[in-house]
């Protein structure tokens, strides 16, 4: 990765009018990681279209190359993963650097837990602060041997194992990364692995495993008890073609910006609308947004639609904890939308935001306060925001891509400088150009300037 070579940048965002136009956003990050990972251990060539070429996914591509997998591309979103089969990964020559990507590290740890070689996973300063015991503990129950740093953070040192034992596990936190890590380890287990979750989280791993021929069953438990997925170990995956839909988490910044600016009319084509990801649409609609879906179809086993938003004046809402997992990456956007809406917005049960690329509750609250918005975090993992106007000022993104993009698309009344925006490239290459093409006014400046 070329991280250290990239200069530090800030954004200067000037007030702008309604958003108008017709766009596409880059491919879904979660699905892109999974195409590379599952394609790598499948038999045959997996052809991918629409792959996100953000740094997080490129870290996964580099990781699998270092594990002996040939990957052509990605170029213009196209890649071919030449699968090496379930036993074909090879020991890497050096530690694998996963940069900023928690998804890459947690899913890879599951996939590598049952291999016959040692390896070490490292990350950048943000990833090195993120909790890993949530995966190392269940993987240890399967017989994996993974060491973390003191405090349960990366690096992860994974020791060679000769297969794993299946487990039944109920996830204590709502996390698709934990669920996926265990399911990927389950591919190498000697029997049936079962993961139960109280509130459904994104199910891209299950969908893709099923599409590649894994023996997997899913079941909704009786009312209120969540859902369960089971995977049979020992099976082989068969390569296929995968079309990656546009990332709803990237679309969300522009959809929310358009939703709250009267006069806007924005069409975003080809967005993934998997129901485990559409919490942001539900929250914006609850706030009064005018959003319509058309051209609904299934691509690569995932529901996709064109989303059209017409701008209105939004109002504050209470966001129910049950919606949180399906909008988990969109809360920075919800917070800035709430800041310029009428009335108060209350979010509860979102404590997981504290362990994302930054502490998104604290960093969002500080950013809002810097722009004159009354916002406070609450003890129940939430935030209360008094809607009104947002002034100009300076916001520190804490190196968090989603904080940077959320504030860059906020409707502030005067110019805002956003510090430390380099990591936008992890998930949304071309963000600034695309945002400006629909009416925003974002300038990139050297962080020193
Ligand atoms: C992801 C799951 C989510 C999300 C992350 C991507 C995934 O994390 O925040 O950006 O691809 O599985 P958790 O499952 O830990 O909440």
Give the model confidence (pLDDT) of 61-70 as tens digits. 999 999 999 9
pTM for this model (two decimals):
0.98
Angle at 193 (CA atoms; ends 187, 197), nearest 5 degrees: 115
Q: To test the ligand 1 pocket, which listed residue (175, 274, 406) has its Cβ within 8 A of the most ligand atoms?
A: 175
Nearest-atom index, ligand 1, CA of 205: 12
Q: Which CATH class is domain 9-27+245-446?
A: alpha beta
Instruction: State the span(s) of the chain assigned CATH 3.65.10.10.
Output: 9-27+245-446, 29-241
Q: Which of 196, 174, 172, 173 is nearest to 183 (CA)?
A: 196
Residues 167 and 139: beta-carbon distance below 8 Å: no
Residues 381 and 348: beta-carbon distance below 8 Å: yes
Ramachandran quadrant class, 376 (left: phi over 0; alpha: psi -120 to 50; beta: rest): beta
Please say if the pLDDT value at position 3 is more than 60. Answer: no
118 Cα: distance to centroid of ligand 1 (angstroms): 26
Q: CA-CA distance, 188 to 233, in Å (whole number)?
A: 5
Residue 192's pLDDT is 98
Mean pLDDT of the chain: 97
114 Cα: distance to centroid of ligand 1 (angstroms): 22
- Report helix angle 248-259 to 331-339, nearest 10: 10
Share of residues in the chain with pLDDT > 70 (%): 99
pLDDT band (50, 70, 90) for residue 188? very high
Residue 449's pLDDT is 66
CATH code 3.65.10.10 for 29-241 = yes
The predicted-structure confidence for 12-30, as pLDDT tens digits, reads as follows: 999 999 999 999 999 999 9
Residue 225's pLDDT is 87
Please say if the pLDDT value at position 1 is more than 50. Answer: no
Q: CA-CA distance, 370 to 445, in Å (whole number)?
A: 20
Residue nearest to atom 13 of ligand 1 (CA): 175
229 Cα: distance to centroid of ligand 1 (angstroms): 17
Q: CA-CA distance, 236 to 233, in Å (whole number)?
A: 9
Residue 279's pLDDT is 98
pLDDT band (50, 70, 90) for residue 6? confident
3-state secondary structure string across the chain: CCHHHCCCEEEEEECCCCCEEEEECCECHHHHHHHHHHHHCEEEEEEEECCCCCHHHHHHHHHHHHCCCEEEEEECCEEEEEEECCCCCCCCCCCEECCCCHHHHHHHHHHHCCCCCCEEEECCCCHHHCCCHHHHHHHHHCCCCEECCCCCCCCEEECCCCCECCCEEECCCCCHHHHHHHHHHHCCECCEEEEEECCCCCCHHHHHHHHCCCCEEEEECCCCCCEEEEEECCCCEECCEEECCECHHHHHHHHHHHHCCCCCEEEEEEEECCCCCCHHHHHHHHCCCEEEEEEEEEECCEEEEEEEEECCCCECCEECHHHHHHHHHHHHHHHHHHHCCECEEEECCCHHHHHCCCCHHHHHHHHHHHCCCEEEEECCCEEEEECCCCCCEEEECCCCHHHHHHHHCCCCCCCEEEECCHHHHHCCCCHHHHHHHCCCEEEEEECCC
Q: What is the maximum alpha-carbon separation in the chain?
A: 61
111 Cα: distance to centroid of ligand 1 (angstroms): 16
Q: Which residues are near ligand 1 (CB < 6 Å)?
A: 30, 103, 175-177, 180, 201-202, 328-329, 352
pLDDT band (50, 70, 90) for residue 58? very high
Please say if the pLDDT value at position 333 is more than 70. Answer: yes
Residue 4's pLDDT is 46
Please say if the pLDDT value at position 169 is more than 50. Answer: yes
Nearest-atom index, ligand 1, CA of 176: 14
Active site residue ranges: 329
Nearest-atom index, ligand 1, CA of 175: 14
Q: For 443-447, what is the mean pLDDT?
A: 96
The predicted-structure confidence for 115-141, as pLDDT tens digits, reads as follows: 999 999 999 999 999 999 999 999 999
Residue 365's pLDDT is 98
């Amino acid at each position: 990765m070329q991280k250290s070579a990239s200069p530090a940048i800030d954004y200067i965002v000037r007030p702008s009018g309604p958003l108008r136009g017709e766009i596409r956003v880059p491919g879904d990050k979660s699905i892109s990681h999974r195409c590379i990972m599952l394609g790598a251990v499948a038999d045959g060539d997996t052809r991918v279209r629409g792959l996100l070429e953000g740094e997080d996914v490129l870290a996964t591509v580099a990781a699998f190359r270092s594990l002996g997998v040939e990957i052509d591309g990605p170029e213009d979103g196209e890649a071919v993963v030449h699968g090496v089969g379930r036993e074909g990964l090879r020991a890497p020559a050096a530690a694998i650097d996963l940069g900023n990507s928690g998804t890459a590290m947690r899913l890879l740890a599951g996939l590598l837990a049952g291999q016959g070689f040692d390896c070490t996973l490292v990350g950048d300063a943000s990833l090195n602060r993120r909790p890993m015991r949530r995966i190392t503990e269940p993987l240890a129950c399967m017989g994996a041997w993974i060491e973390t740093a003191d405090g349960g953070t990366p690096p992860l040192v994974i020791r060679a194992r000769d297969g794993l034992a299946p487990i039944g596990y109920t996830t204590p936190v709502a996390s698709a990364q934990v669920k996926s890590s265990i399911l990927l380890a389950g591919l190498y287990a000697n029997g049936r692995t079962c993961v139960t979750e109280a509130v459904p989280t994104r199910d891209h791993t299950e969908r893709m495993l099923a599409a590649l021929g894994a023996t997997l069953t899913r079941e909704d438990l009786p009312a209120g008890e969540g859902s369960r997925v089971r995977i049979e170990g020992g099976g082989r995956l068969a390569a296929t073609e995968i079309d990656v839909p546009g990332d709803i988490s990237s679309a969300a910044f522009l959809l929310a910006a358009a939703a709250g600016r009267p006069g806007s009319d924005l069409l975003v084509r080809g967005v993934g609308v998997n129901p485990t990801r559409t919490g942001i649409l539900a929250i914006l609609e609850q706030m009064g947004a005018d959003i319509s879906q058309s051209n609904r179809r299934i691509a690569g086993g995932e529901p996709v639609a064109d989303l059209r938003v017409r701008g209105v004046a939004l109002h504050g809402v209470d966001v129910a904890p049950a919606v949180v997992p399906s909008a988990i990456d969109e809360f920075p956007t919800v917070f800035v939308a709430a800041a310029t809406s009428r009335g108060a917005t209350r979010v509860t049960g979102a404590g997981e935001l504290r362990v994302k690329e930054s502490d998104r509750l604290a960093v969002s609250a500080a950013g809002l306060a810097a722009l004159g918005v009354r916002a406070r975090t609450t003890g129940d993992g939430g935030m209360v925001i008094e809607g009104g106007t947002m002034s100009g000022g300076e916001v520190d993104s804490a190196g968090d891509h989603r904080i940077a993009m959320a504030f860059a698309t906020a409707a502030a009344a005067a110019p805002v400088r956003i510090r430390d925006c380099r990591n936008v490239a992890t998930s949304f290459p071309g963000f600034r150009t695309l945002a400006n093409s629909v009416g925003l006014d974002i300038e990139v400046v050297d962080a020193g300037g």
